[in-house]
Structure formats: C-alpha cells, structure tokens
Amino acid sequence: MSYLLHIDSSALGDASISRQVARSFRDTWQGAVVHRDLAVTPVPHLDAAGIHARTVAPADRTPEQAAAAAIQEELIEEFLGAGAYLFTVPLYNLTMPSVFKAWLDQIMVVGRTIDPAGVAPTAGRPAVLISARGGGYGPGTPRHGMDYVVPVLETILGPGVLGLDVTALTPELTMAPHVPELAALLPLHESSLAEAHARARQLAETLEIPSAA
C-alpha cells in the first residue's frame, strides 16, 4: 500500500483547471501513482446486477451479477490498496460529475470499504480533493451554500463514511477569463488559482502515507 490513487473526473482534458492544479500536485509528488481517468474510461453506473451481487453467494450469481461483482472488486481493491488519494472533481451544475458518483457507488460497499462498526479500513489515510468552479461559492457570495461537491464529498470521503483525512482545494471564478460580465473578478480568480497551485505543491511535499498503511 505505497501508492497514491489519483481519480480524475473532469471532462475538459488539459483545459480543466482542476486537472491543472492536480498536475502541480503530481509534478511535486515523489511516490508511485495509480491514475484512473473516469472521463476517458468511465466505470458503469451501479445497476440491479451490481446491487444484488453484493448479497448473493458467488456460486449463485447470474452471469450479469458475476460481471458486475468483478468490476466492483477491481475498483475496491485499487481503492483499498492506496495509502493516499488525489481526487480531481470539478463542480458541474452545482454537484459532482456523474462519472465520479458512479465510481463512488461502485466502491462504497458495507463490509469492504464501509465498516458497520464505524471504523473504515481506510481510516486516517490522507486525501486531497481538488474542485474548480466557474463562480464563487464562499460566504457572502450569491451562491453561498450551493456547493454540493465539497461538503458532500467531505462527508462521504471523510471520517463519517470512508474515513479519509480530506483537504480540499477550490480554485474559483474560473469563468472570469471567458465571460465579459465577470471581468472585474479576474484578479480574484487569478489569486484563487495561484493559491490552489501553491497549496497543491505544498501538500505533495508534506503529505505522507501512514506507516501502518
């Protein structure tokens, strides 16, 4: 368990601000990396076969359930095998890209990644969440309280469910260079972006995989 698992979900490729900030992290990170790009190779959405496969004995599974279980097992083993995590999850229409939600649905399994007793097998492992957004969602902005990415993922990925120690970076106002009405906010965008890149590099230098991992 010595690698960083990097899960990408932005649809914009190299133009993605989330990916660019993640690149600052990756360029600084010194350890091994396993990278899964959900925009290029999406995982299936959880369906009935995948749900039932979790409660049906392997010998009794239908071919569809067996195939669904194999996908889940691959993703879960990859998740559990990591000692640290980098999640690139931009804000799309106030929430996360559907490909990232599909990945979460596949790996969130009671008894595998979620402990009914409340102590997840990945508890305490560090994670960096990078979530760029076109506008501003902080206190005092018109859209404050409408960010359904970072608060939601801090709950799902964090101590209450998957147990990770999550640090979020949120470069904002990414539409300012492209929308004339937002031109006055360009300095705020540039400051937010520079801060996110600097923080990403700092985290890559200081983040450590737990020795017990």
> Token digits for 202?
């700092």
* Domain-located, residue 102: yes
- 16 falls in which pLDDT band (50, 70, 90)? very high
Q: State the pLDDT at residue 213.
A: 45
DSSP string, 61-122: --HHHHHHHHHHHHHHHHHHTEEEEEEE---BTTB--HHHHHHHHHH--BTTTB-TTS--TT
Q: State the pLDDT at residue 142.
A: 85
Residues 8, 23: Cα–Cα separation, whole Å: 11
* Domain-located, residue 211: no
Q: Length of the chain in residues, anyone?
A: 213
Structural domain span for residue 132: 3-206
The more confident residue out of 209 and 72 is 72
Torsion of CA 54, 43, 104, 126, to 10 degrees: 120
* Domain-located, residue 60: yes
* Domain-located, residue 213: no
pLDDT in tens, 162-209: 999 999 999 998 988 998 988 898 898 999 999 999 999 999 999 988
CATH number at residue 126: 3.40.50.360
* Domain-located, residue 212: no
* Domain-located, residue 90: yes
User: b/e string for 56-86 if b means 16 or more Cβ within 10 A?
Assistant: eeeeebeeebeebbebbeebbeebbebbbbb
* Domain-located, residue 118: yes
Domain count, the chain: 1
Residues 191, 171: Cα–Cα separation, whole Å: 9
pTM: 0.94
